[in-house]
Amino acid sequence: MVTPARCPAILIAAPASGQGKTTVTAALARLHARQGRRVRVFKCGPDFLDPHWHQLASGAPVHQLDLWMNGEADCAQRLYEAAQESDLVLIEGVMGLFDGTPSAADLAQRFGVPVLAVIDAAAMAGTFGALAFGLRHYRAGLPWAGVLANRVGSARHADMLRDGLQDADDWMGALMRVAPGDVATKASAPLLPERHLGLVVAHELHDAMQRLDAAADALAATLLGQMTLDDLQRWAVDFPAPAAVVPVPALLAGRTVAVGRDEAFCFIYAANLQCLAQMGAQVVFFSPLHDAALPACEAVWLPGGYPELHSATIAANTAMQASLRAHVAAAKPVWAECGGMMALFESITLADGAQQPLWGLLPGRVAMQKRLAALGPQHLTVAGHTLRGHTFHYSTAQTTVPVVGRTARPDVAPAPDAGEALYRQGSIHASYFHAWFASAPAAVAHLLGEEGVPA
């Protein structure tokens, strides 16, 4: 019998989005990492942006955990491996604690990880205790760590919040509210700035590490931040060794896959790169914005990101446009996800109504919307194999490119006029769908490999 991997672990959750759980998770990771401790951070659900901050804070790769998208076995394997090599495992929840199917609470209960609730207490007093009590007791058997008050106005305010708790042991401290002008030196809501789709990516801010250190310094003044490794043992979890792992077939052996990666194309699961390597591919990176040509490769993956923020640079890089055209003319495959697909159309209408040309490898245009156009988990069947993933975008597309498939929500059959389209023109496959590669390596091989990949 294989011994379980035992390690302190906490799932940081909240009553809703926007409560500050990303800041708290990153601050806690940074606080322990700069003391020389080995910290591994995970993110619940399909999120590309928060992991950039968590990786910077912890110095280690950050993977997603989702009982549907990953599957339970994949989650178990990643947690077991992380616990073997870490002093502390942190998991940031998604939305509210019980939101979604599966939810962060489902993950916590499945693996016995105690929940730390972060509550924005800026405009409440006694109700803070009611929220904490409800989160703890709403579902029987939920592992529990305590509650942290965020955006607290004063020491007196913190006392009122603590006094309202039914169980004094739930109190993990208070993070104080500060004015936006103090962001450079103190932790606050704007410390990790946001825009549409979520947080600003960490590498776009020259002072990202200073922001994390400021958040860690603020957290260090709380009971949670003052806990030693010995204190954290109260939240130690035994992560059992998963069942024997089925090896990923080497369907891309001998093939080089060029992956676009820069400030415009940055929505990349680290696990997808891991999967490509396990499939035998050699992964090389290039910048669609700044490079003049593709690297030598058999296939291209253009991931999602923010092409709408860099549309002028995309249009100006005619050398990369020509290199992509030559790649497609040679019948070499391209898989373009969401923002990667957008860049391949002829033009984009920005949120202010301005129009900007794009690369024009696909006929049609995209237009930014002021509200979300689509959001949620999706699955897509490719060559008889079903990829799991999600969709999340603010633009819509108009094109004459043939539709060769449609996504559907979990446990729902694809419909002709519903879900995200899978477009196919020549060797290009494109969709708003973001794929979790490990869910169906054979489908990925079809998108990035040759027509001879078995269905």
SS (H, E, C) 217-234: HHHCCCCCCCCCHHHHHH
Q: What is the mean pLDDT of residues 342-347?
A: 97
Q: Token pair for residue 419?
A: 């879900």
Would you call 174 helix, strand, or coil by DSSP? strand
Higher pLDDT, 49 or 329: 329
Q: What percent of the chain has pLDDT over 70?
A: 92
Could you give the CA distance from residue 157 to residue 126 in angstroms, rounded to a whole number? 10
Beta bridge partners of 381: 386
pTM: 0.91
Q: What is the pLDDT of residues 156-174, one digit of tens each?
A: 999 999 999 999 999 999 9
Q: What is the pLDDT of residues 73-91, one digit of tens each?
A: 999 999 999 999 999 999 9
Could you give the CA distance from residue 422 to residue 409 in angstroms, rounded to a whole number? 15
Are the C-beta atoms of 315 and 358 separated by less than 8 Å?
yes
| Residues belonging to the active site | 338
If you compute the radius of gyration of the chain from its CA atoms, what whole number of angstroms results? 23
Are the C-beta atoms of 337 and 304 separated by less than 8 Å?
yes
Are the C-beta atoms of 163 and 133 separated by less than 8 Å?
no
Pairing type for strands 365-368 and 395-398 reads antiparallel
Could you give the CA distance from residue 267 to residue 155 in angstroms, rounded to a whole number? 40
**Is the fold of 5-239 the same as that of 256-448?**
yes
Q: Is the pLDDT of residue 452 over 80?
A: no
Q: What is the pLDDT of residues 415-439, one digit of tens each?
A: 777 799 999 999 999 999 999 999 9
Residue 336 phi, psi dihedral angles, 5° rounding: -115, 115
Are the C-beta atoms of 150 and 198 separated by less than 8 Å?
no
Angle at the Cα of 21 (from 15 to 27), degrees rounded to 5?
A: 155
What is the H or E stretch that residue 442 is in?
helix 441-448
Could you give the CA distance from residue 93 to residue 72 in angstroms, rounded to a whole number? 16
CB contact set of 407 (below 8 Å; sequence gap of 6+): 378, 379, 380, 391, 414, 419, 420, 422, 431, 433
Amino acid at 220: A
Are the C-beta atoms of 23 and 102 separated by less than 8 Å?
no
What confidence tier does 403 reach under pLDDT thresholds 50, 70, 90? very high
Q: What is the pLDDT of residues 247-290, one digit of tens each?
A: 899 999 999 999 999 999 999 999 999 999 999 999 999 999 99
Are the C-beta atoms of 265 and 301 separated by less than 8 Å?
no
Are the C-beta atoms of 91 and 65 separated by less than 8 Å?
yes
CA atoms within 13 A on the CB side of 288: 32
Are the C-beta atoms of 24 and 106 separated by less than 8 Å?
no
Supply the mean pLDDT for the chain.
91
> What is the length of the chain?
455
Domain segments of the chain: what residues? 5-239, 256-448
Q: Token pair for residue 262?
A: 């820069």
Task: Look at the domain 5-239 and name its fold.
Answer: Rossmann fold (3.40.50)
Q: Is the pLDDT of residue 204 over 80?
A: no
Q: What is the pLDDT of residues 294-343, one digit of tens each?
A: 999 999 999 999 999 999 999 999 999 999 999 999 999 999 999 999 99
For the beta sheet containing 374-382, the strands, ordered from the edge strand earlier in sequence to the opposite edge, are 374-382, 385-393, 434-436
Q: Is the pLDDT of residue 126 over 80?
A: yes
Q: Is the pLDDT of residue 180 over 50?
A: no
Amino acid at 437: F
- CATH architecture of the domain 256-448 equals 3-Layer(aba) Sandwich (3.40)
Q: Is the pLDDT of residue 202 over 70?
A: no
Q: How far is CA 439 from CA 42, 275, 348, 381, in A?
A: 18, 10, 32, 11
What confidence tier does 191 reach under pLDDT thresholds 50, 70, 90? low
